[in-house]
Amino acid sequence: MKNRIFATIALSFLAGSVVAATEAEYKAAVADAKAEQKKAAELRHEWTTVAKFLKSADKAAKAGKFEQAVSLAQKAKQHAELGQFQAQEQKDAGPRF
């Protein structure tokens, strides 16, 4: 019986620490994505997908689905970086008649 109680306590601590770590990861992923989003916006090459992914990430986080939320925040970051890459690629854009 004692062992079972210890096991339950140990498991709940473990579960708690996993959730806490994932939430922290989510917050870090969002901060990263927002920093890249800001850079893309300054270059006038932000994609609308960035805000959409961040909104979905927020929704997932509020539902406690941190793994999904982290994944969505990472997608937002990726799209923000792609916008910056696009800005660099297109800086000398001109007509192709």
Q: Which is nearer to other proteins, 4 or 91 (CB)?
A: 91
Rule CB under 8 A: is residue 72 a binding residue for other proteins? no
Q: Pick between residue 56 and residue 87 the one whose CB is nearest to other proteins.
A: 87
Residues 6+ apart with CB under 8 A from 76: 30, 33, 37, 49, 50, 51, 53, 54, 57
CA distance 29 to 61: 12
Total site size for other proteins, rule CB under 8 A: 23
- Closer of 5 and 93 to other proteins (Cβ): 93
Q: Distance between CA atoms of 25 and 70, rounded to whole angstroms?
A: 7
Residues 30-59 that bind other proteins (CB under 8 A): 41, 44-51
- Residue from 72, 75, 79, 84 in contact with other proteins (CB under 8 A): 79
